[in-house]
Chain A
């Protein structure tokens, strides 16, 4: 057994089947994280082969290795800085020409390279005959055939990896892709300057550096400049060479280089690739006649999305019930186990209830991500993006951004996780920022309560208008952000439409499991802390004598106090349904008084002046605060504070009665609904935004802009409505 692990880097074009091969090699022994500082996913796995421990790093799928996108920068940085022992370039054998472009760049970098000609079966079915030995000789790179979907060729690939690492293979040699006389002359000139400092050549391929400088590659320029005096000389020579070449070719040097690489590939393929017979029946094309058809395309798309939602929320509802019951059982069990007191309260009402309210989303997330993996792996996601792009382009987004946005109607947490399907970081951030404006299902109970209470028969229209407001705001904010925050770097819509493929169950399951793992691990931490915090705020200070607690408050809130009293007198106390979670708070009056004197209640009073222009009283302010944890909580908080007891739901008549007599006007209720719609949906969303943006800055921005926007919109609604005489 070798002591040191061998590191293999997997590279390849998107849709080359790289992920399938990675999954085949590493199975469940993989870890998903992020590359440092960016939102690009990093997957690392291990495999034991012939007694060697191999560490496999799955680099982001890229078409090239220029510093064009964040994925390319990440992949290149890893290749240059971490110096993997061997690089396996996964090549779609049925699409050699474009796939080999990346290989030419890898060859140029001077890494130890192996080509895996994947999807060999597809290539064969299309009548492509590839002379692998000849290709290996021409490129100076060992070539292995693989069929990722059938798990074939993995052993051969790993054998080859060991051969190359131990320098046993006979094919590997450094070849130069010849760029023609003019370019070669300039490359040589730059290399001559580089060689003056011998230490540079030990770390990088000098030819690669020279070519990159000719390509005007910003990242490489930076690196070279940082080398000091010699670096400046090198860059100066490169500038001069670029200028000369520009004059000679009447085009930028990098364009000429790309042309030449494709020329090299074309030359090689003439010798290596034979396409026999006519391309007969192209199934993908036939399927697309329907799926991206001018008339049928949209209905089919809508049907798929509908089916996904049905599966997620209807099918998911059953396991959700079980989890809910399980959480309640656990709560009851702990309640029985521990004496009534602080610890029991913390465990049951703080931790179990809090974490339970998030774990409950797990079935949704599992099903949703299974569906998305299915869309992605079959190739349908690219088609969905194709037909939706015109619409999404209006707000400066890629067609693929539609699905995460739509999913937001169900739940923003998986929706934001789904932004990972977007290729550019800009699109991801933009989608993440506007996603919370899409009204998730957790906000619906609040609308039902308020609209049902204050708008009677037209409640349906009112709720619809709130959803429409959310969509309108998402569009305008998207537009606003894309012309302010994310100006300038709109990615061209050069999107491959890969042939349809049957996905492997293994890949689907691994994909689904990855997502859920992230959700469970990261969410529970933040949610745990958040739940405890809200519990502390709501439970302290604990005054044995409630009236004394209230007396302290009286100075600030005598008016509000009186209103509470009138409300409580004017209604029949609801028979308190004693639930497991609520054993000790069975008296609604007491509970209300207790909450008011708690830190949370005090906070409500404290911030009430801020919300006064929106028509919120202190109780509404408290409800909005607790709604930060989860929107459903707004309903139960209103329940407690309007003295109907905590066990209310949006249909509760008692709560509706007391709300109606509380002084809230329909206009105020509408402003409150708008506020609930706009400000950050829940703690889980905050956690997932932090996780997906990998930045507290963007998380902070997301929270603050949404709160400010919520305030402004509610203000306009409330005050504007008053001016118009609606309130």
Chain B
């Protein structure tokens, strides 16, 4: 398990666990960050924070410190 904040652009993974306070976790979950969901790291902002992610078919941004609370299982890069 590695935190989402350590993912690089173009990498994808599966959420295994959410850390952090209750309200924060609840918010993330309601936005679709639930265990087993796939997350794709679209890009980092020009100042390396926040991160743009694709989850459940929509784009969303999270601060790096928040992404650090999301534990992930990395998926292998698709071969193109």
Which positions in A face B, CB cutoff 8 Å? 63-64, 66, 68, 94-95, 97-98, 101, 252, 254-255, 258-259, 262, 284-285, 288, 292-295, 297-298, 382, 386-387, 389-391, 393, 399, 492-499
Contacts and interface: CB of A to CB of B under 8 A. Distances in A.
Contacts of A294: 44, 46
Contact of A495 (B35, B56, B57, B60): B60
B2 to A, nearest CB: 20
Interface string B6-39: 0000000000000000111111111110110000
Contacts of A259: 29, 34-35
Pick from A254, A298, A390, A493 the residue with the most CB of B within 10 Å.
A493
B69 to A, nearest CB: 9
Contact of B50 (A262, A293, A390): A390
Nearest to B29: A258
Nearest to B52: A497
A252 B23 CA distance: 11
Contact of B56 (A97, A387, A399): A97
A66 B26 contact: yes
B61 A386 contact: yes
B26 A258 contact: yes
Nearest to A298: B46
Interface string B41-74: 0111111111010001111111100100000000
Given A98-B31, A493-B61, A494-B62, A255 B26 contact: yes
A387 B47 contact: yes
B32 A262 contact: yes
A258 B30 contact: yes
A68 B27 contact: yes
A492 B28 contact: yes
A293 B45 CA distance: 8
A390 B45 contact: yes
A255 B29 contact: yes
Contacts of A101: 30, 32
Contact of B45 (A95, A285, A387, A494): A387
A390 B27 contact: no
A68 B60 contact: no
Judged by DSSP, the binding face of B is mixed
A94 B61 CA distance: 19
Given A389-B50, A390-B50, A492-B62, A97 B57 contact: yes
Judged by DSSP, the binding face of A is helix
Contact of A66 (B30, B42, B43): B30
Contacts of B59: 284, 496-499
A494 B28 contact: yes
Given A262-B34, A494-B28, A494-B31, A390 B47 contact: yes
B52 A393 contact: no
Contact of B22 (A97, A252, A387, A498): A252
Contact of B47 (A98, A258, A391, A496): A391
Given A95-B58, A98-B56, A298-B46, A493 B63 contact: yes
Contacts of B24: 492
A390 B30 contact: no
Contacts of B32: 97-98, 101, 262
Contacts of B25: 255
Contacts of A497: 52, 59-61
Given A66-B26, A255-B25, A292-B52, A387 B31 contact: no
A493 B50 contact: yes
Contacts of A288: 43, 52
A40 to B, nearest CB: 18
Contact of B66 (A64, A97, A262, A493): A493
Nearest to A293: B46
B45 A386 contact: yes
26 contacts: A63-B30, A66-B30, A68-B23, A94-B57, A95-B58, A101-B32, A284-B59, A288-B43, A294-B46, A295-B46, A297-B45, A386-B45, A387-B45, A390-B47, A390-B48, A492-B62, A493-B62, A494-B31, A494-B61, A494-B66, A495-B61, A496-B58, A496-B59, A497-B52, A497-B60, A498-B58
Nearest to B32: A98
A639 to B, nearest CB: 47
Contacts of A494: 27-28, 31, 60-62, 66
A292 B30 CA distance: 26
B45 A492 contact: no
Contacts of B63: 389, 393, 492-493
A219 B27 CA distance: 17
Pick from B23, B24, B25, B47 the residue with the most CB of A within 10 Å.
B47
Enumerate the 5 nearest inter-chain pairs by beta-carbon distance, A residue then B residue, closest first: A390-B47, A497-B59, A258-B29, A64-B30, A493-B63
A496 B23 contact: no
A389 B43 CA distance: 14
B45 A389 contact: yes
A51 B28 CA distance: 44
Contacts of A94: 57
A279 to B, nearest CB: 9
A297 B44 CA distance: 11
A254 B18 CA distance: 14
A258 B63 CA distance: 22
B49 A389 contact: yes
Contacts of A254: 22, 26
A509 to B, nearest CB: 28
Contacts of A292: 43, 45-46, 52
A417 to B, nearest CB: 25
Contacts of A68: 23, 26-27, 30
